[in-house]
Amino acid sequence: MKSSSIIATLFATASLGAVLRNREGCGFDVVQFYASCVPHSLYCSYSFNVTSESITAPVECSSFVQGPDYLPTIPLTGCSDPTVSYSFDVGEDAFTLAVTTASSKGQNLTGTHTITADEVVVDDNGSVRDQRYIGPQNFTISAALVEI
């Protein structure tokens, strides 16, 4: 009896350790990130696909919003899968892309990616100047469980 309970405890501990490691290694893979204001227009466009261990298929996230010339802040906005949301924050010296998904009751998996000022340019298009992202299109966002 004692040996079977020890073995059961070892298996339970090993299983728990695997779950904790998976949660610690969680993150979001962002693919084909695009952010740009449309020249001679009042609008800006954001789009990307996101995957993670908890998302079974790539999820499309996109917004077409009024700019007019500089990338605007996007409040928390749903993606094609309603369990995934994103926001885009415009700071003084950097931008922040945040991705969040429901993880379990009372918890979200949330990660942020900082976009530095040198990854965004302003193009002179004659009578207007338009801002666009020129950084890497594909990147990984580290994520953590957040109590809600």
CA–CA separation, 148 vs 136, rounded Å? 31
Please say whether the beta carbons of 130 and 95 come within 8 A. no
**Predicted local confidence at residue 102, as pLDDT:** 87
Distance CA 33, CA 47 (A): 6
Residues in the chain: 148
Tell me whether strands 120-125 and 139-147 are parallel, antiparallel or unpaired: unpaired
Predicted local distance difference test score (pLDDT) of residue 127: 86
- 27-147 has CATH 2.40.350.20 classification: yes
Q: Residue 74's pLDDT is what?
A: 98
DSSP, res 142: E
pLDDT recorded at residue 36: 97
User: Residues 46, 25: contact at Cβ < 8 Å?
Assistant: no
Residues of the chain with confidence (pLDDT) below 70: 1-25
| pLDDT the model gives residue 31 | 98
pLDDT for residue 55? 86
- Closest to 92 measured CA to CA, from 117, 62, 123, 113: 117
Domain ranges of the chain: 27-147
pLDDT score, position 80: 98
Task: Report H helices in the chain.
Answer: 2-24
Find out whether 134 and 20 touch, Cβ atoms under 8 Å.
no
